[in-house]
Every structure is written in structure tokens, then in C-alpha cells.
Amino acid sequence: MSAKSLVSISDYSKEQILRILDLATGFEACPNQRILEGKVAATLFFEPSTRTRLSFETAVNRLGGKVIGFSDAATSSSTKGETLKDTIKMVSNYADIIIMRHYLEGAARYASQVTDIPIVNAGDGANQHPSQTLLDLYSIRKTQGRLEGLNIALVGDLKYGRTVHSLLMAMKHFPSTFYFVAPEELAMPAEYKQFCRDNGIKWHETSVFSQEIINQADIIYMTRVQKERFTDLVEYERVKNAFILRNNMLDNSRDNLKILHPLPRVNEIAQDVDDNPKAYYFQQARNGLYVRQAIISSLLDLV
């Protein structure tokens, strides 16, 4: 079993999280270094991705390493019936680190138990997306100057959105006040509300995306309704446009407000928000490159 993997954000202490953010600041200042020369990273994506896979691969390329892998499991021998265990053991013969996204919750944890090279969870079902959380924290700290004492509205699909689940778990280290804004069908799961109670995280819950919440927020974290997790597409159609953030809704928002979104966006942020200086989602995705450089080089003990 690997001693060092990033499977859940709860694998990292507050100090480890802050160290990654500090390392990422260094990579942002100097993203092209040769510290991964001679190393091979495998990206195994059993689910679609644009940002996560390409930013991890860019991170490796800019640090002088090489990338192998697949972006579509249909091109891998998993379609012939090869198990995840065998796939991970095979790829461990070729690579120094595996970055994987899988549709099954717990797949990355399982992978970390059958190999002795580091596993990075790039998303497992509706469960966790810890590298996204680290780049979200980096973006919050960069724009707000701190991680604590903020009003953070999580808006949209809080049931299936793994990014909000991971973010909440990390924020136990950085006391802030959360507003869970979701249709009843997509409310924050009970286990995460219990996590907040157990860890002293303040939260309010509502199914109304009110002007009052927008006006007092430091961060509005919009999320996409996760169509791929619905078993009933009629229900998806009913909730898919539940909340849409439009530019005029930001007229009385705080000066320091930043709009985050893990992306991809569908309809939940109107295009007219993009030119508002408070829209930060494209820079947020860019920050992912530096944070992922920090994660990989840290897991490989190169920094």
C-alpha cells in the first residue's frame, strides 16, 4: 500500500494543505522547471474531463516529466473485463505516480491499497475531488487574502457535487460561515451536515438563492447540476435550471466578492457574468496548474 497518496482531502492536515498552497505560489511564479525529469505520470480517466486531466498533464510537462494514460476507458483493456486492481498493478509497472478519475466512489482509495506508487484521486463518483479543493482554497486565499472568517455560498447541486463535499471537509481547518443553497432534491447530504456539526462549521440552508445571500457573500461557489449522476432524467429536467446567476444580481454585492465554479458550466452562470471582475472561474482553473504541480512534486518527494 502506498504511504503517500491524495485520495481524500481529509488525508491532509492543515499544515499539509497550507504547504501545498505555498508550493503552488512558487510554481505560479516559476511554472517551468525540470524537477520531474526522468519521471512518468499516468493519467487514467474512466470518466470525461477537460480541466483536471489537461492541467495535471500540463503540470507534468512543464516540470519536465512524461505522461502516459488514457482519457477514454473504452480504449483500455477494462472493456475486455480487466479489473481495476489489475489495471492499477499494470500501470504501476510503468509509471511513478497515477492520477485517476473513476465513476465509482471509493475507487481511488481501493487503487491506493493495491499499489505502492502514489495515487491522486481526480474525482471518484459523487464522493471527493481533493485536487480541486486545493485549487479552490488557493483561489480563495489569493483573492481574499485569508481562508478564515468568510461568508461562502455553495449554490446548485450540493447532493452530487463532489467538489463542494471536498471543500467543506477542508474548511474544518479554516472557520467560515457557509450558506447551502440548493433545490430540496439536491440538498447537501445529511452526512456532510453532520460533519459540519461535528467540526464546528457554521452553516445555513435554503432553497432560495436570495439577493440577501448574494449581497453578504465573500465567495459564491456555483456548481453544475450533475446530469450524469441522475437515474431519473425527468427529475434532472425539473431541477437543471433551478439557479442561474446573472450579472445584474451582483449590483449590490461586496467589492471583494469572487464567483467561483469548478467548471464545466452549463446554464448556472449567465454569459454576461464573465466580463464582471468578480467572475474568477477561469483564473481558478488556471490556478489548478500550479496547485497540481505542487501536489505531484510533493507526493514524489521532489520539493
> Which residue ranges make up the site for ligand CP (CB under 6 A)?
49-52, 123, 132, 262-264
Q: Is 80 a catalytic residue?
A: yes
Paired sense of beta strands 40-45 and 66-70, if any = parallel
Backbone torsions φ then ψ of 39, nearest 5 degrees: -100, 150
CB of 264 to ligand CP, least distance (A): 6
Q: Is 115 a catalytic residue?
A: no
Active-site entry in 39, 53, 62, 129: 129
Q: Is 52 a catalytic residue?
A: yes
Residues 281/265, Cβ–Cβ less than 8 Å: yes
Which residue is it, cell 480487466?
A: 82
Q: Is 51 a catalytic residue?
A: yes
CB of 269 to ligand CP, least distance (A): 14
Comparing CB distances to ligand CP, the nearer of 118 and 262 is 262
CB of 288 to ligand CP, least distance (A): 8
Paired sense of beta strands 177-181 and 258-260, if any = unpaired
The side-by-side arrangement of strands in the sheet containing 219-222 is 202-206, 177-181, 151-155, 219-222, 258-260
Comparing CB distances to ligand CP, the nearer of 50 and 77 is 50
CB of 270 to ligand CP, least distance (A): 19
Enter the C-alpha cell of residue 56: 495535471
Residues 192/165, Cβ–Cβ less than 8 Å: yes
Q: Is 265 a catalytic residue?
A: no
From the list 138, 137, 103, 96, the residue with the least C-alpha distance to 123 is 103
Active-site entry in 51, 53, 102, 224: 51
Comparing CB distances to ligand CP, the nearer of 141 and 292 is 292
Comparing CB distances to ligand CP, the nearer of 57 and 218 is 57
Residues involved in catalysis = 51-52, 80, 101, 129
